[in-house]
Structure 1
């Protein structure tokens, strides 16, 4: 009998969050109360997976990898899995994919060229197991000139199309860092967009099936208050996102950014965040990875400044933007998540992905996760 995905729980028509990772107990439970949410939770068509290694006894949180393994193990003959990943040294999910292929699942993978060069565990397990695999060869990128930095997973299981974007690489070192995964189910338009991007990665060309993508094609709306974003590109659409914030008021006044990398080529984003704080009155908070970045982001500029505890340091691998404000013409509680750092390479030379979801349950869980990181962050 084929194992299927855990069904969405409903009660009188209302979606119920389904917790897929058991919470910690004992001393770890006390730490978790301070640390905030972790594990995977389904809310309607959306699923959020949040890792926090400080809550795990061995310091390695495999919740995202475990969930990807569950999804892979649930696939049966005729189902489809497509993956684009940056670095992959851990063999566990790779073995599951080989087993899935052997039972008739259509599995194909695109990897950054570094995996072939270094004979990484994921690469060798997949190739030895007969998985069709494209090793990017433009530098180590497929569409850019630098890295193929994606962490993109597409599943078509039992006719249900699912898109998962994550910040985590499949390495043991990544299991020791906070990471997240955002998954959308049943959004055929979003799936089609990311499948079109994956096909171009696999072809190592922006032209696929006679259709060439330019910057306008690298953003697409889904059908469930969702958008997909593909990189590299020329114009900075993260700046466009922040420029669409029009008003902050009352309890709907938060802009939260967690950036594993935030570098000077994206100075316009820094300046826009300062303007949102000082000129629009939003509560802007930023998590970065080191002291030099903190100093640069909070430096005063013509748009304002983000001093006085607005920028903090926390060792996280997340790439997140959360907005609880008036976005365009609507008050929204939205999240952008994926592989995209706030760096010049992520914009212009790397293969990257972002996904947007406008949903208060999703944004609320991510905001709680962000607040837990801020509570443990340091800075001036």
Structure 2
């Protein structure tokens, strides 16, 4: 697996003077709409595909441009080195990371602190969200919940090469485990007049504002249509009842209500790391009963699939597959292979329009903390080529050797 380029790179040909020798044409460095998927049991390049895509964007950011990132876990020395190098050549690099990740083994916070500084009025800095909350979210849902986190995983580039306004959204944290143990996904999106970059920047500014002062929020939920894209930013508080008893304010349930199964042509695919919201499971089951094909692929580590969700979906969807395979390490030991992606694919009738191909991806797991407490991003992409690339990724996992139907 790797990057799937979804638009051609256009060449800018330099004109040759009639009085001079012909000049070698120089290709413009443009950023196409790209889907990227890693393969944790593949070659080094396949494992590192998402990281390599991100590093390429960082390295191609010119002096005077800016990079704004928001990430949950960050232990990747290659990315931290690229960010510090970008700052040293004149790029304004501003990073927001979750406070809990500061003391994580191998944390790159100290590297970023030394290389970027922590003065928020400077051109470059790193900010850790205050513990025990996210930068925005401050809600502890119950006695067993440890509190909010900044679970985001995105980078914003004011310029990459010759392209202005690039959004990089992924499901992967910047850790070795994410590259070598889990399937993940990413999208690289040039703004191209959609307004998506500005929308993300406004959210990022709110993360900075609330993360650097104040006590946080128990509700933030904002949505924005930006051309063929739509963003959903969390946390989202229930309107009534308790955090787990109001499906009317569950964004995924609401999105699934827009699906029509008439004619039996609509297909839903869910690839999900953590899934504990039974209301979402119940809606998927009802859509299967209404004539949709519904395929679920989930991670199989303890607690990733809630008991109520497991009971609801078992035998009641078209297929349900768990991802918990193994692969051999160079030293002869084995490691588990799972899925950390978080996406919903809808093909068919949506909002009464037929032939739709939609991707919903980002950092949003189907758990109540991800909905009600955490700083999160869900991104809707209305693009057939992006959909087809995610569909191919889903089917390669579903039919591959690391996920098993049951």
**What TM bracket, shorter-length normalisation?**
0.7 to 0.9
Is the 2:6–2:34 contact (alpha carbons within 8 Å) kept by the matching residues of 1? no
**1:375 and 2:399 are equivalent in the alignment:** yes
Is the 1:200–1:207 contact (alpha carbons within 8 Å) kept by the matching residues of 2? no
Note the C-alpha offset of 1:140. Answer: 4.3
1:271 to 282, 289, 293: 282
Per the alignment, do residues 254 and 204 of structure 1 end up closer, same or farther by CA in structure 2, a change over 3 Å counting?
A: same
Note the C-alpha offset of 1:297. Answer: 3.3
Is the 1:136–1:148 contact (alpha carbons within 8 Å) kept by the matching residues of 2? yes
Residue aligning to 2:33: 46
Is the 1:90–1:122 contact (alpha carbons within 8 Å) kept by the matching residues of 2? yes
1:70 to 56, 67, 72: 56
Residue aligning to 1:94: 80
Note the C-alpha offset of 1:10. Answer: 5.8
1:289 to 283, 299, 319: 299
Structure 2: distance between partners of 1:97 and 1:201: 20
Note the C-alpha offset of 1:222. Answer: 0.7
Structure 1: distance between partners of 2:212 and 2:360: 24
1:137 to 130, 133, 141: 130
Residue aligning to 1:182: 187
Note the C-alpha offset of 1:144. Answer: 1.2
Q: Counterpart of 2:274 in 1: which secondary structure?
A: coil
Structure 2: distance between partners of 1:7 and 1:320: 22
TM-score (norm 1): 0.80
Larger relative helix fraction: 1
Q: Counterpart of 2:311 in 1: which secondary structure?
A: coil
- Give the aligned CA root-mean-square deviation in angstroms: 2.9
Is the 1:82–1:107 contact (alpha carbons within 8 Å) kept by the matching residues of 2? yes
Note the C-alpha offset of 1:361. Answer: 0.9
Residue aligning to 2:331: none
Structure 1 residues not aligned, in runs of 5+: 12-42
Give the paired residue count. 332
Structure 2: distance between partners of 1:161 and 1:213: 30
| Matched ranges for 1:74-153 at <5 A | 74-118=60-104, 120-130=106-116, 131-145=124-138, 146-153=148-155
Note the C-alpha offset of 1:312. Answer: 1.0
Note the C-alpha offset of 1:120. Answer: 3.9
Note the C-alpha offset of 1:184. Answer: 1.5
Note the C-alpha offset of 1:159. Answer: 5.7
Residue aligning to 1:254: 267
Per the alignment, do residues 141 and 295 of structure 1 end up closer, same or farther by CA in structure 2, a change over 3 Å counting?
A: closer
Note the C-alpha offset of 1:321. Answer: 0.3
Note the C-alpha offset of 1:206. Answer: 11
Note the C-alpha offset of 1:188. Answer: 4.7
TM-score (norm 2): 0.75
Structure 2: distance between partners of 1:308 and 1:269: 13
Residue aligning to 1:23: none
Is the 1:294–1:312 contact (alpha carbons within 8 Å) kept by the matching residues of 2? no
1:324 to 340, 347, 356: 347
Note the C-alpha offset of 1:115. Answer: 2.5
1:240 to 248, 254, 259: 254
**1:347 and 2:371 are equivalent in the alignment:** yes
Structure 1: distance between partners of 2:196 and 2:212: 18
Give deviations 1:277-302, integer Å, cap 9, x for gaps. 012x111001111287386435358x
Give deviations 1:192-246, integer Å, cap 9, x for gaps. 11111111111126999xxx99656x110012x1111111112221111111112
Per the alignment, do residues 74 and 86 of structure 1 end up closer, same or farther by CA in structure 2, a change over 3 Å counting?
A: same
Residue aligning to 1:19: none
Structure 2: distance between partners of 1:50 and 1:159: 22
Structure 2 residues not aligned, in runs of 5+: 12-29, 117-123, 139-147, 238-248, 324-337
Structure 2: distance between partners of 1:44 and 1:89: 27
Residue aligning to 1:171: 175
